[in-house]
Every structure is written in C-alpha cells, then in structure tokens.
Amino acid sequence: MGKPGVFNKALICDPPILKVMQSSGGGAAEHLLESEIGVHWKEEELINPPPKFIAQANMADPAIFERFGEENFPECFREYAELLSWDRYWHTTLDTSNPPFWKWFVGGKLNASYNCIDRHLAKHRNKAAIIWVPEQEEEPDQILTFQELYSRVNEFALVLSEVAGLKKGDRVTFHLPMNPSLPVSMLAAARLGIIHNEVFGGFSAKACAERMEDAKSKILVTCDGYYRNGQWIDKKADADLTVDEASKVGIKVEKVLVWRRYPGKYLSKAEMVAGRDYFVDELLKKMHGKRVYPIPMDSEDPLFLMYTSGSTGRPKGCQHRTGGYLAYAAGTSKYVQDIHPEDVYWCFADIGWITGHSYIVYGPLALGATTVMYEGVPMFPDPGRSWRIAERLGVNIFHTAPTTIRMLRKAAPNEPDKYNYHFKTMTTVGEPIEPEVWRWYYDVVGKGEACITDTWWQTETGGIMCSTLPALQSMKPGSAGSGMPGIYPIIYDENGNEIKKGERRAGNICIRNPWPGIMQTIWGDPERYVRQYYLKYCKNTSSKDWHDWPYFAGDGAVLAPDGYFRILGRVDDVIKVAGHRLGTKELENAALTTKEISEAAAVPLADELRGHVPLIFASLKPGATPSKEIEAEVVSNIAKELGPIAKPRAVYLVPDLPKTRSGKIMRRVLAAISNNEDYGDVTTLANPDVVETIRKTVREHSV
Ligand code: WTA
C-alpha cells in the first residue's frame, strides 16, 4: 500500500478539484463514463493540525500506517477489537472460506450493550452518557448517566422479552425519531441479541411497513410524537397506518409499543388499540429495578439491519455483525474523531441513518464518551441554535453533513463568532463538501482551531473508509483523504483497469480488502449482495483469496498524486438529497402510484444547499391531459409512499421520455437538461425529437 500523506513529510501536491459530478444514474448497467464528468483542476493548499491537538490526540504515531499495512492484514484489526471487552477471545481474525461472506473475530463472544454501558459503570457511573437536547429551547435537557442508561436499557430489554415476546435472533422494528427512547431501545435489543431495525423517523408508514415485511418483523416500537421545526409531529398516527400497510403485505403487527415524549401524558390524536398498543412508560414501571444479563453473542451474530436504497425499487437490509461492526465503529471513533471518555461529542445526524448508529450510539458509547443528541432542525428557532448548544454543553467534537453546514452558512455566516465554544475536531459526512464550504467550516465554525475530517463511507461499510487521521495527516479542503488504516481503496475504470494516482481520471472507487465493519449480507438476499457489490470486479468467482474480491462501492472518485481520494458522488441510481439516500427507482415507483401516470423517471438536480434534489419527469396515459393537479398528486404520492424528504422539486409532465431503441429510459439526458449541461448526441435515440420538447418545458418552468 502506498503510504498516505503524512503531514510532516514532504508532500508533492497536485490536488484535483472537481466541480460537477454525479453521473445521473442511467441504469444499473450504465456506470460512470469519463465523458460525463467535468473535471476542473485546482490547487488546494494543505492545512496541518495545531500542535495543541496533536499533543492530546489518541493517535499521533505514524507507525500506525505500518502496523495496518498489507503485510499485517488482517491481524492489524486486533487493535480495534481489543478496544472492546470480550466474553471469549476469538480464534480466527478473518475467515475467508466463503467469499465474499467474510467472517470476523470468529469464535469470539461479546455483547454490544455491555460494551456500551455496563463496562463503563465502575469508572463513569455518574457521568453523562447521553445528553438529549429537546427542540423546544425552554425545555430542559435530559441527561442519562451511564447508570441511568443502564437501568432504562435493562428495564426496556425486559419489556422486549417479557411483553413483546422477543428473543435472540428475532427482528424488532423501531420507527423512532431523535429521542433518547431510540438509543435505549437499540441497546436493550442488543442486550438480548434481538436484531434491531430502525426505520428513519422521517420515512412514511408505508416505507416502514415494507421494511417490516422484508425483515419479517412483527413488533413495532414507536412514540406518540416529537417536535420538528417547532411543529408537533404525530407519530402514533403513522404507526396505525404502518400496521394497516403491513397487513396488506402479509405482516400482522402483533404489538405496538409507544414511548411517550412526556411519560404519563399522551399527545397523539390516534387512539390506543386494546391488546395491541402499550405505553412503554407504564410497562417500564412493572420492570422497575429489574436487571437482565447481557447475552454473550457470537461475533458473527447480527446486531442490526439498516435498510438503504440501491438501484432497484426494493430497499436492501444491510445486515451488520456484532463483533466486527462494534470494533470498527469504536476504532474509527477513537482515531478519526479523536474521542476520549472526557470529551463532549455531538454528532448532528439522525440515528435513523447509519451515521447515527455508528457515530452517535455505538462508537462513542463503546468508548465511554458523552454523546449529545438533538431532537430538532439546525435552524430552530434561529441559526444560532447549534452554536448555543455547543457553548452551553461544552461540546468539543462536532460532526455533521455538508447540507447542514451549507444551510447554517447561508442563514448566518458570522453567527458562530458570537458563541464561546471550542472544537478540537469536526467531521463531515454523507456528501461531497465543496472546498469553499469546507473553508467556512474550518475558519468560522472551527475558528481555525479544529481539525476537519472529511469521512467517506456508506451504510454498507459500517464505518469510515477514507479520511485523514487528524494528528497525522494534513487536511485538504474537499478531499476525503487516504484509505483508513487497514483499508486499501483502489479506483478501477469500467474495464477493471486500475486508475493510478495523479492520472486525473475518475473511476469507480472500490476497496480491495475485507474489513471488520463491512456488512455481512443483504438480509434474506445473499445473491443480491454478491451481485451488487462484488461481481463487477471479481477476478475469479471460485477463488477463496480475498485479493480476488474487491468491494464495489458505487461512487465515482479521483486519486490525487499524494494518495488523497476525492469522492465525486454516486455512479448508480441513488440520489443523495440533503445527505439522505434515495433510490431513483423508489421515487419512480411512488410517482407511478398516480393513476394518470404512464412512465416516470427521477433525476437529481444540483442544489446549492441540499447537494441534490429529485425531479420527476413523467408521461401520461392516453386520454389524460397534463395539469397542476396531477403534478401535485405526484408530489403527494411520493411523500405518502416514501416520506416528505423525498418530495421532488418539480414534476414535469412531458409527451414521452427519451429512450434508447431498446426502450431504456435515458435518465442521463434528462439530468443533463435539468442541470443545464450538454446532453450530447441524442440522434440514436428512438425518439430524439422529444428531447427538444423536454428542454423547452424545463426552460419555461425552471425551478
Ligand atoms: C456519499 C452515509 C462524499 C457517497 C455514511 C456514499 C460521501 C453515500 C461522503 C453513502 C463524503 C458519504 N464525501 N460523498 N465524505 N460520505 N458520501 O449509505 O455517495 O447514507 O456512497 O452512508 O454517501 O450514503 P449512506
């Protein structure tokens, strides 16, 4: 492995800065084409961490890169696993006997809940584990010390087993917002080996029901509601819809456990259904003071499912293992985010996504840190809110997505100056960050004192794949940095040829080797797992050598001469909207529930704040005429099917969609028109004339 750019060694720097990107999802077979990428090279200076930071950093020894070098693989990952407490040590670090279903720390036993709670009690019993900040500013924080977390998790684990009848290996679905009930529920499930399946709170009832069906999960844990942008959102009403939707797809939800935001006070308008619905606070009273032993789980026992969007309409349940996942989340939290037990760490993400699982709950708590959770949106009631939280709680590590950074910058670019907080590290995740936005993050939010880590990874990877190690490597605005220790990324062109450092060509970023955080499989669909992530670049499908099985990530990237990766965006049918991951097929299927629509195509439109927003192009069935009502109906159907985050910016009703002669919809052409880019030669299409009509429609109604 080429050694990443260690900052105190001379670096020859010729960094790439890319403006546009995102091949606009033209179908699974059609991946990144170089001609689709606008590459604009620009020098970006390297920035070194402050000596004060290095002096206290968890990882300031450059030997880590040798320790995690290829010659020490896979044993190097013991270093992460040893951050955890094991009930039984493993005998085999990596088992590659059934590629690409890798097994990690085989033979080992541990419990994730024990690792995040019980083992910290002796030293940190009375320390805040979770500080929950309600959106209503006048409402007091809720502070769960490790002891309090221990009690609640034990008691709720008993509710899961004794009331809901769940046992090891069963799946339980949570449709919970950013409320302490969510980490408590996760850790309670983990305590008993119940596989948790949290569905992002902003997803619709229908999306939740589909995931319950796929996971064959019959218990739903929800709440009465929550605050978002000053509004009370009724969640229990959603739960009733989920139960109805689930029954349509053959799942009878047996019990609905309802956490109340204010215990004893029910704020939902939806009625409780006798024999099915239970208030968690009432059940907890019955379990008061009871304790349940954390079951020692096999390293390979699944810890949770996290559904994510891919190139088909059906979301895939990424199945994560207990030992490898937790070790990887803890190791990366410690070395990239530099989390120490005495830090106050705030990851401003949603636990309903992988970032929240790994870097609000499992990583920081495994390290015994204090993790801050905020219920609401960044701008409520004003753009100073985030900085007030940071100041008041003494947050010293901050973590969020470029969308949030862009919004805060646009709303009040000088606001952070007014608050007396000091960050030592700041993380960005989820989308490419523009160098200009990066600089504002560094100069204004970080006050020039904090290291930034731009962390590239995915739901599937469990933890960070590319980033700088903050005390050891220089920062480069807009670049994720090198592969993490023990992660060997590589860029391939469409034909499987490696694109080397400094070639100034984009290609598909892959990871050459297995690592402990990689998902185990797609729940219930191992073939899809192989097809989706491995077949594209597999060198020999009968080989048992991991070298033959590179992991295909689905992102475009460029590798600079100094070994830093710049991530360009998805090369498949996935759109990242404000950091949320949506599948074009899911959007299209939702649009097609509108009875007048015959065909639909979803494409990403570049957006200054949200990265991308979806647009829908649709043609109508014979006899239907375009109208504002149909457009509105498409928007509302998408919100109903998927959730409000998926609402398209515009719906264009057009005479036909551009298609190849074999009938494939050319989303790429639609995206180019929408983004004002050159759509190239369309004369070979089956219906080239429609392209001009569509172009005019888009121009006339530009959004
Ligand atoms: C994108 C989120 C650029 C990428 C953890 C990836 C990024 C997708 C970065 C996964 C980054 C994530 N720079 N792009 N630092 N981090 N992405 O599964 O396209 O919600 O494939 O996981 O987000 O999104 P997911």
Buried b (16+ CB within 10 A) or exposed e, 536-551: bbbeeeeeeebebbbb
What pLDDT is recorded for position 473?
Answer: 97
574 lines ligand 1 (CB under 6 A): no
Give the Å distance between the CA of 420 and the centre of ligand 1.
31
- Residue spans of alpha helices (H) in 249-383: 280-286, 323-335, 354-356, 363-366
Question: Does the beta carbon of 572 lie inside 6 Å of ligand 1?
Answer: no
Res. 303: pLDDT tops 50? yes
Q: Is the pLDDT of residue 15 over 50?
A: no
Question: Is pLDDT at 346 greater than 50 in this prediction?
Answer: yes
CA angle 46, 48, 51 (to 5 degrees): 170
Q: Whose CA is nearest to atom 15 of ligand 1?
A: 456
Distance CA 206, CA 208 (A): 5
Cβ 534 under 6 angstroms from ligand 1: no
Asked if residue 355 has its Cβ within 6 Å of ligand 1, the reply is yes
Q: Is the CB of 311 under 6 A from ligand 1?
A: no
When pLDDT is cut at 50, 70 and 90, the band that residue 584 belongs to is very high
Q: Which residues fall within 8 angstroms of residue 646, CB to CB, at 6 or more apart?
A: 577, 580, 582, 586, 587, 590, 614, 638, 639
C-beta 480 within 6 A of ligand 1: yes
Residue 449: pLDDT band (50, 70, 90) is: very high
- Cα dihedral 378→383→387→388 (10° resolution): -100
| 453-479: average pLDDT | 97
The residue-averaged pLDDT of 229-239 equals 97
Strand partners, 616: 602, 651
Closest CA to 6 of 471, 332, 438, 560: 471
Q: Give me the amino acid identity at 99.
A: P
Verify whether ligand 1 is closer than 6 Å to residue 555 (CB atom): yes
CA distance 132 to 140: 9
What mean pLDDT comes out for the span 246-250? 97
CB of 517 shorter than 6 A to ligand 1? no
Q: Is the CB of 425 under 6 A from ligand 1?
A: no
Q: Which atom of ligand 1 is nearest to the CA of 458?
A: 22
Q: What is the whole-number distance in angstroms between the Cα of residue 254 and the centre of ligand 1?
A: 36
From 23, 32, 405, 431, the mutation candidate for ligand 1 (largest count of ligand atoms within 8 A of CB) is: 431
Confidence at residue 11, expressed as pLDDT on a 0 to 100 scale: 30
pLDDT by residue (tens digit) across 516-535?
A: 999 999 999 999 999 999 99
Residue 441 per-residue DSSP state: I
Q: Quick one: which atom of ligand 1 is closest to the CA of 574? A: 19
Ligand 1 atom closest to 581 (CA): 20
How many angstroms separate the alpha carbon of residue 577 from the centre of ligand 1? 11
353 lines ligand 1 (CB under 6 A): yes
pLDDT reading at 502 higher than 90:
no
CA-closest residue to ligand 1 atom 11 = 456
Residue nearest atom 8 of ligand 1, based on CA coordinates: 458
Q: Is the pLDDT of residue 310 over 90?
A: no
The Å distance, Cα 460 to ligand 1 centre, comes to 10
Q: Is the CB of 453 under 6 A from ligand 1?
A: no
Element (H, E) at 142: strand 142-145
pLDDT at 43: 67
The alpha-carbon radius of gyration of the chain (Å, integer) is 24
- 357-415 pLDDT per residue, tens: 999 999 999 999 999 999 999 999 999 999 999 999 999 999 999 999 999 999 999 99
Query: From ligand 1's centre to the CA of 480, what distance in Å?
Result: 11
DSSP 490-521: EEE-TTSPBPPTT----EEEEESS--TTS--E
Q: Is the shortest distance between the CB of 431 and ligand 1 below 6 Å?
A: yes
- Find the 201 Cα to ligand 1 centroid distance in Å: 20
Question: Across all residues in the chain, what is the average pLDDT?
Answer: 93
* CA 248–ligand 1 middle distance (angstroms): 33
Chain-centre distance of CA 605, in angstroms?
21
Please say if the pLDDT value at position 26 is more than 90.
no
Residue type present at position 86: W
Size (the chain), residues? 703
Atom of ligand 1 nearest to the CA of 570: 19
Indicate the top mutation candidate among 429, 455, 479 to test ligand 1's pocket, ranked by most ligand atoms within 8 A of CB.
429
**Residue 548 confidence (pLDDT) above 60:** yes
152 alpha carbon to ligand 1 midpoint, in Å?
33
pLDDT of the residue at 1? 38
As a whole number of angstroms, the distance between CA 280 and CA 425 comes to 37
Ligand 1 atom nearest residue 554's Cα: 21
**457 alpha carbon to ligand 1 midpoint, in Å?**
5
Task: Report phi then psi at 142, rounded to 5.
Answer: -110, 125
Per-residue pLDDT at 4 exceeds 60: no
User: Which atom number of ligand 1 is nearest to the Cα of residue 459?
Assistant: 18
Query: In this predicted structure, what is the pLDDT of residue 13?
Result: 29
Cβ partners under 8 Å of residue 214, min gap 6: 307, 314, 315, 317, 523, 524
**Ligand 1 binding pocket includes 468 (Cβ within 6 Å):** no
Question: Which residue of 458, 467, 518, 564 sits with most ligand 1 atoms within 8 Å of its CB, as the best mutation to test the pocket?
Answer: 458
Per-residue pLDDT, 481: 96
Q: What are phi and psi of 506, to 5 degrees?
A: -90, 155
- Tell me phi and psi for residue 76, to 5 degrees: -55, -30
CA 410 to centroid of ligand 1, rounded, Å: 22
Closest ligand 1 atom to residue 567 Cα is 3
Is 473 in a helix, a strand, or coil? Answer: strand
- CA-closest residue to ligand 1 atom 10: 458
